[in-house]
């Protein structure tokens, strides 16, 4: 089932093929394309490519396996493997069988998998052999009854003496299952399609419940915005448990285009990401700004360009203005979109940049309502705020999740959904982002929005990233400088020129880098913990050329001027 065609080496589909009718459920997205362009690559993985016909057939095989092993309508199916065509087929297969897929983070420890498996009652899991070994080594399997291996590999060799309470189905069993379509699941778009687990405020993961209608409102809208077509080659950068991947997979497959996996070992290097863009002729890219910054800082994007890239979507965190300007200059041919929305509403606002922002602009809007959603900005009493004033963003419409799956219970979403994001509306109708409501802190009686402090810090030409925290009534900043010679005094002076006194961080820690979450964002929780515990490894200080060698993990010695 392996195809190893070079990009463009296959029969190229017509640029403007007649499109199949708009699918209302995820399980319907691929079928029509599989008969129209069976040999076109659907998913270009790292070491395997699946054509539309192969993806369609493998999805049916998975669906058959799930049903034959007792899957009931609405049952959850875990998918725990690296991003690949097989993972996409497993999700599609779960959907076709009437199940709900749950993408699991290959980088998360088994203990977290146990919490999720127990929370949503995972009885069937498609898993990579190496990951299964780590589950079993950690003693995690309940409530799973069936593991389906995604590759030939080391299934636990000899059957244990006692019934372990679960079965492991080798890859050969999946591969040889019937590829005939399973009985149709009907066309109700309001059924649950997938669960995306995010960190709850207490640290216990909670599942965001997304229906087919929720997902496809965004999927079709996004494809429409950029006129996505069958010759497009769309990067898959985000992990599948992160909602950016909903575009990468389903918008792409809804238009008969090709998903190109940019795998976990590639996304850590700007140079390797850009190599992959060039070698795979990637035309559409969607990631957090950090990935683009990595290509600017460490991939030579400004020198090498990427002329084949026609669309860049970014979301998930604020794109510091100076880096955004560099990206725009490096990719003059590309359309850039700032997409906005929490996992709970997928993308509910969007802004397309029309050329570089004005030189004095220090932020760009998050735009206007998208995907058929309606947004409002309200104060703490729930009343609409006047134009220009900051309030909380409320969203209603087709992308608002069904609710949370948490502690084994389902809680319906509030309508309209309160996002917890602080925004304001400009006279031209565009919405501006001001930060998270829960990042609004009080220090010595002053209300401070940490996002504003962070954006002032990254406004310094020599600071590439910054996070701000309020700990024990102290405002503390952690910043990554691009120039090791920058001093704390420089930074304070810079802040003093932009912020009120009470918003100037009393402590500034200059660090070599920030830890990342699995979705590539700066890991705020780990940095905060490191500050509290004074963890010199997470907060490894910047090495300055003039520093005396000091004990490792200690800040460089201070050098008082005479």
Partner 1 sequence: MEDVVKTGINQYIVSTWLSGDGRGFDDDTDMQQSGILDSFSTLSLIGFLESTFKVQLEPADINAETFKSVNTVTKLVLGKLGG
Binding site residues, partner 1, CB under 8 A: 444, 485, 487-490, 492-493, 495-496, 499, 501-502, 504, 506-510, 555-561
Nearest distance in Å: CB 260, partner 1: 44
Which of residues 137 and 546 has its CB atom nearest to partner 1 in the complex?
546
Nearest distance in Å: CB 509, partner 1: 6
Which of residues 325 and 492 has its CB atom nearest to partner 1 in the complex?
492
Distance CA 242, CA 238 (A): 6
Q: Is the C-alpha dihedral spanning 128, 129, 130, 131 positive or negative? A: positive
Residue 552: asked if its preceding bond is cis (omega within 30°), the reply is no
Nearest distance in Å: CB 86, partner 1: 49
Token code pair at residue 452: 């504003």
Which of residues 43 and 531 has its CB atom nearest to partner 1 in the complex?
531
- Strand ranges in 346-459 using DSSP code E only, listed in sequence order: 349-352, 368-369, 374-378, 391-396, 403-406, 409-412, 417-425, 431-436, 440-443, 446-449
What does the CA dihedral 264, 270, 273, 277 come to, rounded to 10 degrees? 160
In the block, residue with structure tokens 């019937």: 178
Nearest distance in Å: CB 533, partner 1: 17
Residue 467 forms beta bridges with which residues? 478
Which of residues 383 and 560 has its CB atom nearest to partner 1 in the complex?
560
Nearest distance in Å: CB 451, partner 1: 19
Distance CA 320, CA 483 (A): 17
Nearest distance in Å: CB 507, partner 1: 5
Which of residues 138 and 496 has its CB atom nearest to partner 1 in the complex?
496
Which of residues 178 and 487 has its CB atom nearest to partner 1 in the complex?
487
Nearest distance in Å: CB 464, partner 1: 18
Backbone torsions φ then ψ of 515, nearest 5 degrees: -70, 155
- CA–chain centroid gap for 281, Å, is 22
Which of residues 233 and 509 has its CB atom nearest to partner 1 in the complex?
509
SS3 call for 444:
coil
Task: Tell how strand 349-352 and strand 368-369 pair up.
Answer: antiparallel
Residue 217: asked if its preceding bond is cis (omega within 30°), the reply is no
């Amino acid at each position: 089932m392996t195809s190893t065609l070079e990009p463009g080496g296959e029969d190229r589909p017509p640029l403007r093929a007649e499109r199949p009718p708009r699918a209302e459920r995820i399980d319907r997205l691929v079928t029509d394309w599989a008969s129209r362009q069976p040999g076109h690559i659907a998913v270009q993985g790292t070491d395997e490519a699946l054509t539309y016909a192969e993806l369609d057939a493998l999805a049916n095989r998975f669906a058959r396996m799930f049903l034959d092993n007792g899957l009931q309508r609405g049952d959850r199916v875990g998918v725990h493997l690296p991003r690949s065509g097989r993972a996409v087929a497993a999700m599609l297969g779960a959907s076709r069988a009437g199940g709900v897929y749950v993408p699991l983070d290959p980088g998360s420890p088994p203990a977290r998998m146990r919490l999720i498996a127990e929370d949503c009652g995972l009885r069937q899991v498609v898993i990579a052999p190496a990951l299964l070994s780590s589950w079993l080594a950690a003693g995690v399997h309940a409530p799973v009854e069936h593991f389906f291996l995604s590759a030939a590999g080391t299934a636990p060799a000899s059957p244990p003496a006692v019934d372990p309470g679960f079965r492991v189905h080798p890859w050969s069993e999946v591969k040889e299952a019937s590829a005939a379509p399973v009985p149709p699941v009907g066309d109700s778009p309001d059924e649950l399609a997938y669960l995306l687990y995010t960190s709850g405020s207490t640290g216990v993961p909670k599942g965001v419940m997304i229906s087919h209608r929720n997902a496809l409102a965004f999927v079709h809208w996004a494809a429409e915005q950029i006129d996505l077509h069958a010759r497009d080659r769309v990067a898959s950068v985000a992990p599948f448990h992160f909602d950016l991947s909903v575009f990468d997979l389903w918008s792409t497959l809804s238009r008969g285009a090709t998903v190109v996996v940019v795998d976990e070992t590639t996304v850590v290097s700007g140079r390797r990401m850009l190599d992959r863009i060039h070698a795979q002729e990637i035309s559409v890219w969607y990631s957090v700004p950090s990935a683009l910054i990595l290509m600017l800082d460490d991939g030579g994007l400004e020198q090498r360009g990427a002329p084949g890239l026609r669309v860049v979507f970014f979301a998930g965190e604020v794109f510091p203005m100076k880096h955004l300007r560099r990206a725009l200059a490096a990719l003059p041919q590309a359309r850039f979109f700032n997409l906005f929305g929490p996992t709970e509403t997928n993308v509910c606002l969007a802004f397309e940049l029309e050329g570089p922002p004005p030189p004095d602009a220090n932020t760009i809007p998050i735009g206007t309502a998208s995907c058929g959603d309606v947004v409002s900005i309200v104060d703490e009493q729930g009343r609409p705020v006047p134009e220009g004033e900051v309030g909380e963003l409320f969203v209603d419409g087709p992308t608002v999740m069904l609710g949370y799956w948490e502690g084994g219970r389902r809680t319906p979403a509030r309508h309209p959904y309160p996002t917890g994001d602080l925004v304001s509306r400009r006279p031209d109708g565009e919405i501006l982002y001001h930060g998270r409501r829960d990042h609004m802190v009080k220090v010595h009686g002053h209300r401070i929005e940490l996002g504003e402090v962070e954006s002032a810090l990254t406004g310094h030409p020599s600071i590439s990233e910054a996070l701000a925290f309020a700990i024990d009534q102290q405002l503390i900043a952690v910043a990554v400088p691009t120039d090791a010679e920058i001093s704390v005094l420089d930074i304070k002076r810079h802040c003093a020129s932009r912020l009120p006194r009470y918003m100037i961080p009393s402590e500034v820690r200059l660090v070599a880098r920030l830890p990342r979450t699995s979705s590539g964002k700066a890991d705020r929780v780990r940095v905060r913990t490191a500050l509290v515990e004074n963890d010199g490894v997470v907060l490894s200080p910047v090495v300055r050329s003039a520093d005396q060698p000091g004990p490792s993990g200690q800040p460089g010695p201070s050098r008082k001027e005479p």
